[in-house]
Amino acid sequence: MGVGLIEPVDDIKKNSPCENPELLEFLTKEMVRLKFNQKEFLRTLLYTQTYRRQSSNFDPSEAEFYHYPGPRMRRMTAEQIWDSVLTIAVYNPYPFTLPSNNEFQRVSDLDLSKVTAKQAEDLGKQFDETVGPGARNKLMNVAAYRRQVLARASELPAPLPADHFIRQFGQCDRETIEGDSLDPTVPQILTMFNGPFTHMMLEEGSVIYDNLVRSVHARDAMNVMFLSILNRPPTNRDRDIAMNEMSRGDKAMGYGNLVWALINTREFMFIQ
Amino acid sequence: MSPRFVVPAGSEPFQATRRSFMARAAQSMLGVSCAGMMSGRYLHPLAQAAETTQAQGKAKSVIFLYMSGAMSHLDTFDPKPGAKSQGETQPGKTRIPGVAISDKMPKLSYLMNGISLIRSMTTETGAHEQGNYLMHTSYKPLNSIRHPSLGAWSGHILPKLNPSLPGNVLIGSAAGHPGAGFLPASIAPVPISNAASGLENTQSPSYLGDDQFRRRMSLANQFDSKFKSGYDSQLIQAYDETYREAVRLMASSELKVFDIKEEKQEVRDFYGNNRLGQACLLARRLVEKGVRFVEIEHGGWDHHTNIFSSCPRMATELDDALGALLRDLATKGMLGEVLVVLGTEFGRTPTINENAGRDHHPGAFSALMCGAGIKGGQVYGKSDDEGHSVEEDAVYPEDFNATIAAAMGLPLSEEFYAPNGRPFRICNNGTPIQSLLS
């Protein structure tokens, strides 16, 4: 969060110059009030408007103190990019997670004193179709796309093979400490252009594709697209550009072009 | 982009018969130019290189064949005829009197007058991962930092020879490769897992025409304009630049360079129809178009069992592939600007184990260099009679790398600061082998 209240941060002396004495005083009182519970203290920080502020343009290479007008603009981590792509494309990115108790209950809750054979059989069938091993295998198959397991980054083994999407975008190989990279490479961009996951997103059966096809009005489709990918509604200008593209004819092609264009913006890849 | 290398007038295209091609190639390789070539100013590239007074930077490009798994020196480039350690491998004469290599490598034996063999490589580690890292970076692995590989250093210091293409390419498995280390990821080697399938994700779907790709890009730029006008960080600019680079590559006619199917079948056959052969062919295509550093990772040398049944086949493949590569480069007049090196992480034990294999042996192993900046036709260093230890002129991985770096003209004594503030040198104070440098 930028410049320390005391700089250097590991040089705490009674007469160390303080960046913001009022803030230091306040935080000291808070820490005492919370009985030095660091979790609660952190919670307070995370709830501040300061912490949740929009990203700023600060370049960390500039040799000056950062007075924290907000987090600095940064690229999504490799794992965040992967999870974002999955969210747009896959219905259940948690194929390894067991169904919830509620889901189990719905197909296993029966009163044995009253149940008929037919009811029991139906319920058994439902169980198999929704949460049973067969259903789970089916889910795993759906989750695999061109030999890649479509599960959240946190559910995948680490380190992943060197040619995996996540490694390509800079995931640490676990040989060194903090070996993550946010740097751009040409293969990353080629993956965004033509990679299997880009194709997957533009195919029938992906979350965004299905949502777009379900949209009755073009206006809804534009909202779906921008909210899903950029987390904001389209501006009027965006809408004009998109409508113009859609008016060229083929609907599926138009959607494909627009979704492709949106995931290839810097706005998608960077966190505001 | 004009070709980077001048093809000597005397050289013929591949339509030439195989025999005349081989003859011509061998002539130029050996520096024994025929009359037609002597008459013009097209001296053999090796001869040209020798004439140049400039001491450094002769190698504009490097092709690095990395034999992963630890290639046995005793069964390839440093056989010990008569020794107890020799096993079933037979020596074959080379064109250097008194120097023999495995008889499974007749092509390289024939080309030996252009090659510098190093028989005194030695290292301290007998573990693959550490040895591999040391051979690539000249440093021992550290948990706090990743050192750059030589290809990344060259991309960091030297300008690109061809702006449309990546300057650093890695053919074969990229697992465990140190890549760009602490240098920017943009100069990390671009991986090509299989030479036959080329650069991945460069193929637009068939339904997408060229103009549609341009339209998609233009849409992306329009949607992005507001965001970009609000933010202007170095990383965003770096991404903009990389997008431009990728678009340039996609649109470039140079993209075809990655497609070895453009080569005639006889050329592909000449290199050998296997991964190594096709990788060497791709490497030649890449350096021809100005890719500065191409590494070929070729595994399978970890012969703990049955070395005498599996190693000969690999030696033959290597002989075919490297032999073809050197001949082809010589014929195209490129050996004056391209340096070809072969290395591995360590050697294999003189003792043959109970599984008829050889185990890890860092004490002595072999490497070779040929082409730009290197004096051919010599053997540098010597291992003892059993191939166990180095007897003369020990060469450590950092010296090996420093020799390559010197041939490329990289500043070996300059200090570079990693992001964590620590200073590093390109080859960790390795010393170039002066008698190998031309």
Start-to-end CA distance of chain B, whole Å, equals 30
Q: What share of chain A is helix, strand, coil (3-state, %, to 5)?
A: 55, 5, 45
pLDDT at B271 over 60: yes
- In eight-state DSSP terms, residue B437 is B
User: Confidence class of residue A61 from pLDDT cuts 50, 70 and 90?
Assistant: low
Whole-number pLDDT of residue B51:
38
The reply to whether A72 touches chain B by the CB within 8 Å rule is yes
Residue contact A187–B191, C-beta within 8 A: yes
Q: Which residues neighbour B146 within 8 Å (Cβ) at sequence distance 6 or greater?
A: A175, A176, A179, B178, B179, B181, B182
Find the DSSP H helices in A109-195. Answer: 117-130, 133-143, 165-168, 186-194
The burial class, CB within 10 Å (0-12 / 13-18 / 19+), for A159 is middle
Residue contact B201–A57, C-beta within 8 A: no
Which two three-digit tokens encode residue A218?
């073009």
Alpha-carbon separation of residue A255 from A217, A224, A270, B279 (angstroms): 13, 11, 23, 39
Specify the amino acid at residue B187: I
Find the DSSP H helices in B127-209. Answer: 128-137, 150-157
ipTM of the complex: 0.82
Which two three-digit tokens encode residue B362?
């860092």
- Rounded CA Rg of chain B: 22
The reply to whether A170 touches chain B by the CB within 8 Å rule is yes
- Option in B193, B231, B246 nearest A163 (CB): B193
Specify whether the CB–CB gap between A184 and B180 falls below 8 A: no
Burial A65-88 (b: 16+ CB within 10 A, else e): eeebebbbbebbbbbebbbbbbeb
Whole-number pLDDT of residue A146:
67
- Asked if the peptide bond before residue A8 counts as cis, ω within 30 degrees of 0, the response is yes
pLDDT at A244 over 80: yes
Q: How far apart are CA A108 and CA A112, in angstroms?
A: 11
Q: State pLDDT tens for residues A93-139.
A: 887 777 788 888 888 888 888 888 888 888 888 888 888 888 777 77
**Tokens 């056959």 — which residue?**
B269
Start-to-end CA distance of chain A, whole Å, equals 15
Q: How far apart are CA A12 and CA A21, in angstroms?
A: 14
User: Confidence class of residue A203 from pLDDT cuts 50, 70 and 90?
Assistant: confident
Q: Which residues neighbour B212 within 8 Å (Cβ) at sequence distance 6 or greater?
A: A257
- Option in A257, A267, A272 nearest B224 (CB): A267
Q: How far apart are CA A224 and CA A211, in angstroms?
A: 7
Whole-number pLDDT of residue B23:
42
Q: State pLDDT tens for residues B387-428.
A: 999 999 999 999 999 999 999 999 999 999 998 888 999 999
Specify whether the CB–CB gap between B343 and B135 falls below 8 A: yes
Question: Residue B339: in which H helix or E strand, if any?
Answer: strand B338-344
The mean pLDDT value for A163-178 works out to: 85
- In eight-state DSSP terms, residue B360 is E
Residue contact A185–B242, C-beta within 8 A: yes
Percent of chain A surpassing pLDDT 90: 38
DSSP B61-116: EEEEEEETTT--STTTT---TTSGGGTTPPEEE-SSTT-EEETT-HHHHHTGGGEE
Specify the amino acid at residue A66: Y
Q: Cβ atoms within 10 A of the Cβ of A162, count?
A: 18
> A57, A241, A168, A257: which is closest to B242 by C-alpha?
A168
Q: Measured between CA atoms, how close is B272 to chain A, in angstroms?
A: 26
Residue contact B177–A199, C-beta within 8 A: no
Q: Measured between CA atoms, how close is B108 to chain A, in angstroms?
A: 33
Q: How far apart are CA B347 and CA B363, in angstroms?
A: 7
Mean pLDDT taken over chain B: 86
User: Confidence class of residue A178 from pLDDT cuts 50, 70 and 90?
Assistant: confident
Alpha-carbon separation of residue A148 from A89, A106, A182, A235, B12 (angstroms): 14, 32, 23, 36, 47
Q: How far apart are CA A34 and CA A210, in angstroms?
A: 49
Specify whether the CB–CB gap between B140 and B396 falls below 8 A: no
Alpha-carbon separation of residue A234 from A104, A140, A247, A254, B236 (angstroms): 40, 35, 17, 16, 21
- Option in B145, B212, B222 nearest A176 (CB): B145
The mean pLDDT value for B230-249 works out to: 87
User: Confidence class of residue A29 from pLDDT cuts 50, 70 and 90?
Assistant: very high
> B376, B192, B374: which is closest to B295 by C-alpha?
B192
Max avg pLDDT among A148-152, A245-249, B358-362: B358-362
Burial B87-113 (b: 16+ CB within 10 A, else e): bebebbebbbeebbbbebbbbbbbbbb
pTM: 0.79
The mean pLDDT value for A47-76 works out to: 80
Q: State pLDDT tens for residues B12-49.
A: 333 344 444 444 444 444 433 333 333 333 333 443 44
Whole-number pLDDT of residue B9:
34
With beta carbons under 8 A apart, name residues in chain A contacting B175: 161-162
Task: Name which residue leads in pLDDT, B313 or B174.
Answer: B313
The reply to whether A148 touches chain B by the CB within 8 Å rule is no
- Strand-strand pairing, B378-380 and B115-121: parallel
